[in-house]
Amino acid sequence: MKTGQKQLYAQKKFYLWLAVAAVVHFFVLFASVFFQIWGTDHRLKPKIVSVTLVSLPGSMGGEQTVSSPAIVEEPQPITPTAPKIIEEKSPATKPVTKPPIKQIQLNQALARIQQRVEKQTPSPKPSSVTTLNSALARLQQKISTSGKPAGAGSVTVADNRVGAGKGYGSGGTSEPYKAAVASIIQQNWEFSRTLLKNSEGMAVYVRINILANGTITQIIFDRKAISEYLNTSVKKAIEKSSPLPILPKEVGGRDVWIGFVFSPEGLAK
Amino acid sequence: MFESQLGIFGLISDAGPVVLFVLSVLLSFSIVSWAIIAFKFGYIRKSLKESRLFLDYFFEVYNVEKVFTATEKYKQGSLPKVFRAGYIEYRAIDNHADSRQVTARIARAVKREANAENKRLSTFVSFLATVGNTAPFIGLFGTVWGIMTSFHNIGLTQSASLAAVAPGISEALIATAAGLAAAIPAVMGYNYFVQQISIIERDIEEFSPEFVAALLNEA
């Protein structure tokens, strides 16, 4: 009888330790997850501040049914800030060295736009601001009359997504900014098409939220590609491209949503 | 915040059913192992301590009646238990004239209690050895299975890049890590308890004849 009581006592004690061990295990598990999330947040916060998300320029080549050129969306007719046209025509393939300063990047993007406009205009005149403005104005007029995008839609910046979140940043005034951002991302996009056996139909639709100070607060994959490699490369490119330039004042608002389409074909171009 | 699923939670949530099953088995192994370690650690430590105190008192007094009374204070000690068993048997003997029979009965009772105490001390310890030996292999099984699945998925995605291969492998490797996490404390606890139990067993072997002799002298 006494021995039985002792055994019962020992069993109870063991079960107590079992419960304690289970509780400690789950506590440790949850603590590790919690600290990991907490640590990730703390690590990412400064990174977000410094990292600017880049949108892919629309060198999607061929199947850009989704991407609508910015020109069509532009309600503002003859503003000199018609970089939408430029951005549409700017293929992602043009390698541009990444300047350290945001202003320089913006200037470079504008310079590229200017060069392209000069190529398209029949009269080859020395590049100047007035020439560029007039060329852009002609293009705008042409677009407004025809109602169609002047450049065959090779833009991968999904303008229909701009402002999809909160309505900020819609309109064409931010096109130079988008072009700059896209060029930055493109430069940082390390992607080898040869690693994909089949690149057909592979496209990544990404939406990013940029604060006024250029901070990227969110990266949302609207549609991922089958290849995880492509998805990861896009994400890395966006993270690597940081910090983004500060949002131009004409965009207004606290933040802006910009959508991009990444595809192997676009890169290959 | 980026929508990235990194870390332990992401690895576990992305793991397949087999890997999850392996992880749950290893988790249960770890829980039981730690419970055994905590339970046996207290038990053996108390047994050693009370045995030492009892021996000191035994050699100091060398009076069976007093020593038996003192054993009430050392109920967890192995040596006091053995002595109590011998004393109870000694008291149960009516005829102390036949010293040979008395010696045999006391020795038998002492031996029986020593065996019982050895069993009590060794209870659950073998489970630690089992966990220590099998947990790494169970974890390895989960890893192999996870890598198999990962390579299959790589084939489906048609991408041979490291970025496509690495996530699956890292998810699978968590099973091996869990197996090692369960096995290492189990092996350490097993080695510790085996050593401590061998000390107690040696004490019982050495002092059992002393107890019998003390009881016979009392007779």
pLDDT per residue over A111-128, tens digit each?
A: 887 787 766 655 444 445
What are the residue ranges of helices labelled H in chain B? Answer: 7-14, 17-61, 64-70, 78-92, 99-122, 125-157, 162-218
**pLDDT value of position B193:** 95
**Three-state DSSP class for residue A204:** strand
Task: Indicate if A245 and A134 belong to the same structural domain.
Answer: yes
Count CA atoms closer than 13 A to B26's CA, side-chain side. 30
**Three-state DSSP class for residue A95:** coil
Tokens standing for residue B9: 């939670």
What's the distance, CA B126 to chain centroid?
6
Count CA atoms closer than 13 A to B148's CA, side-chain side. 10
Task: Indicate if A83 and A195 belong to the same structural domain.
Answer: yes
Task: Indicate if A68 and A123 belong to the same structural domain.
Answer: yes
Q: Check whether A179 has a pLDDT greater than 70.
A: yes
**Contacts with A234 (C-beta within 8 Å, 6 or more apart), sequence order:** A56, A189, A204, A206, A262
- Which of B2, B124, B157 is nearest residue A228 as measured by Cβ atoms? B157
> In a 10 Å sphere around its CB, with 0-12 CB exposed, 13-18 middle and 19+ buried, how is residue A9 labelled?
exposed
**Closest residue of chain B to A43, computed from CA coordinates:** B1
- Among A61-65, A119-123, A258-262, which is the least confidently predicted range? A61-65
Give the integer Cα–Cα distance in Å for A83 and A172. 8
**pLDDT value of position A77:** 45
Distance from CA of B10 to the nearest CA of A (A): 9
**pLDDT value of position B132:** 96
- pLDDT category of residue A263 using cuts at 50, 70 and 90: confident
Whether the CB of A190 is below 8 Å from some CB of chain B: the reply is no
Task: Indicate if A131 and A249 belong to the same structural domain.
Answer: yes
Chains A & B: contacts with CB separation below 8 Å: 88
Task: Indicate if A90 and A187 belong to the same structural domain.
Answer: yes
Amino acid code (one letter) for A44: L
Looking at every residue in chain A, the average pLDDT score rounds to: 64
Residue B158 to residue A36, Cβ atoms within 8 A: no
Q: Are B113 and A3 in contact (CB under 8 A)?
A: no
Q: Check whether A173 has a pLDDT greater than 60.
A: no
Q: Are A227 and A264 in contact (CB under 8 A)?
A: no
Tokens standing for residue A182: 């896209």
Amino acid code (one letter) for A246: I
Residue B39 to residue A13, Cβ atoms within 8 A: yes
Residue A33 to residue B7, Cβ atoms within 8 A: yes
Distance from CA of A68 to the nearest CA of B (A): 27
Q: Are B122 and B93 in contact (CB under 8 A)?
A: no
Which of A12, A14, A221 would you mutate first to test chain B, the one with the most B CBs within 10 A? A14
**Three-state DSSP class for residue B10:** helix
Residue A18 to residue B167, Cβ atoms within 8 A: no
Tokens standing for residue B83: 């002595």
Residue B9 to residue A227, Cβ atoms within 8 A: no
Give the integer Cα–Cα distance in Å for B183 and B190. 10
Residue A14 to residue B160, Cβ atoms within 8 A: no
Task: Indicate if A87 and A128 belong to the same structural domain.
Answer: yes
Task: Indicate if A46 and A70 belong to the same structural domain.
Answer: no
User: Per residue in B76-102, pLDDT tens?
Assistant: 889 999 988 988 888 888 777 777 888
Whole-structure pTM value:
0.52
- Which of A14, A32, A230 is nearest residue B8 as measured by Cβ atoms? A32
Task: Indicate if A59 and A168 belong to the same structural domain.
Answer: yes
Task: Indicate if A65 and A154 belong to the same structural domain.
Answer: yes
Cα Rg, chain B, nearest whole Å: 27
Query: How does B41-56 read in b/e, with b if 16+ C-beta sit within 10 Å?
Result: eebbeebbebbebbbe
Tokens standing for residue A255: 């933040």
Q: Domain range for residue A176?
A: 52-268
Task: Indicate if A188 and A93 belong to the same structural domain.
Answer: yes
Task: Indicate if A44 and A64 belong to the same structural domain.
Answer: no
Summarize the confidence of residues A231-239 as an average pLDDT: 83
Q: Are strands A204-211 and A216-223 parallel, antiparallel or unpaired?
A: antiparallel
Residue B163 to residue A228, Cβ atoms within 8 A: yes
Tokens standing for residue A171: 């309109």
Give the integer Cα–Cα distance in Å for A259 and B44. 66
Residue A32 to residue B31, Cβ atoms within 8 A: no
Tokens standing for residue A209: 């939220």
Domains in chain A: how many in total? 2
